[in-house]
């Protein structure tokens, strides 16, 4: 009998300003696409303080947040929604560990980042976060 088609899951991805500045948008998108994820929304966005505070609501009180906000508002980012089987976990595996110095080679951060802050990409960390972030960045997305 046929194996049932797995339900598609969506994740929110932000290609951060360091990646845009360094000309790595294409490299990051290629990894997502090569893996088999589908892009269902994508836009170049200049993040302001308010959007940063909303996106990083879980971090706004932390000591690392002020420099993180300065960084994420420092230039345009590329916001996107990707879809595929277990997309949330798959994106985080592709991204690698938060600290680029410790991220495994073969991951986006492991191959391109030497920083715990300027680490090129964000990916939703749970289905609840994905829904919240997609509603925040792409309200009304079908
Ligand atoms: P992200 O949310 O961007 O996908 O990254 P993550 O889950 O791997 O890391 P998270 O703990 O959510 O932190 C969000 C972003 O804040 C910056 N960060 N700086 N100690 C520090 O200086 C520090 N820790 C985290 C990074 O840009 C991280 O991606
Ligand atoms: Mg996170």
Q: What is the pLDDT of residue 2?
A: 79
Mean pLDDT of 22-32: 98
The predicted model scores a pTM of 0.95
Residue pair 4/114 in contact (Cβ under 8 Å)? The answer is no
Q: What is the average pLDDT value for the chain, to the nearest integer?
A: 97
Model confidence band, residue 1 (pLDDT cutoffs 50, 70, 90): confident
Taking the centre of ligand 1 as the mean of its atom positions, its distance from the CA of residue 5, in whole angstroms, is: 33
Residue 6 has pLDDT above 80, yes or no: no
Choose which residue among 60, 98, 113 to substitute to test ligand 1 binding: the one with the highest number of ligand atoms within 8 A of its C-beta.
98
Which residue has a Cα nearest atom 10 of ligand 1?
Answer: 98
Exposed, middle or buried, 59 (CB in 10 Å: 0-12/13-18/19+)?
Answer: middle
| Distance, CA of 132 to chain centre | 13
- Give the three-class secondary structure for 88: helix
Check if 68 has its Cβ closer than 6 Å to any atom of ligand 1: yes
Over pLDDT 90: what percentage of the chain? Answer: 94
Check if 117 has its Cβ closer than 6 Å to any atom of ligand 1: yes
Model confidence band, residue 7 (pLDDT cutoffs 50, 70, 90): confident
Model confidence band, residue 19 (pLDDT cutoffs 50, 70, 90): very high
Q: What is the pLDDT of residue 38?
A: 98
Tell me whether strands 77-84 and 9-15 are parallel, antiparallel or unpaired.
antiparallel
Check if 70 has its Cβ closer than 6 Å to any atom of ligand 1: no
How many H-runs (helices) and E-runs (strands) does the chain carry?
Answer: 7, 4
Give the ligand whose atoms come closest to the C-alpha of residue 119: 1
State both tokens at 139. Answer: 């309200």
Q: Is the ipTM of this complex over 0.90?
A: yes
Q: List, as residue ranges, the binding site for ATP.
A: 16, 64, 92, 98, 109, 119
Q: Which residues are catalytic?
A: 122
Model confidence band, residue 68 (pLDDT cutoffs 50, 70, 90): very high
Mean pLDDT of 117-121: 98
Q: What is the pLDDT of residue 142?
A: 84
Q: What is the pLDDT of residues 69-83, one digit of tens each?
A: 999 999 999 999 999
Give the ligand whose atoms come closest to the C-alpha of residue 16: 1
């Amino acid at each position: 009998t046929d194996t049932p088609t797995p339900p598609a899951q969506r994740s929110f991805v932000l290609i951060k300003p360091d990646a845009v500045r360094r000309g790595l948008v294409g490299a990051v998108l290629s990894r997502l696409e090569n893996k088999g994820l589908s892009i269902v929304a994508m836009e170049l966005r200049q993040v302001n303080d308010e959007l940063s505070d909303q996106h990083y609501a879980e971090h706004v009180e932390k000591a690392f947040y002020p420099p993180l906000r300065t960084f994420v508002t420092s230039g345009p980012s590329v916001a996107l929604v990707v879809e595929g089987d277990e997309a949330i976990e798959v994106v985080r595996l592709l991204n690698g560990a938060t600290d680029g110095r410790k991220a495994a080679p073969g991951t986006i951060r492991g191959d391109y980042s030497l920083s715990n802050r300027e680490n090129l990409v964000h990916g939703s960390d749970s289905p609840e976060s994905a829904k919240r972030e997609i509603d925040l960045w792409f309200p009304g997305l079908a």
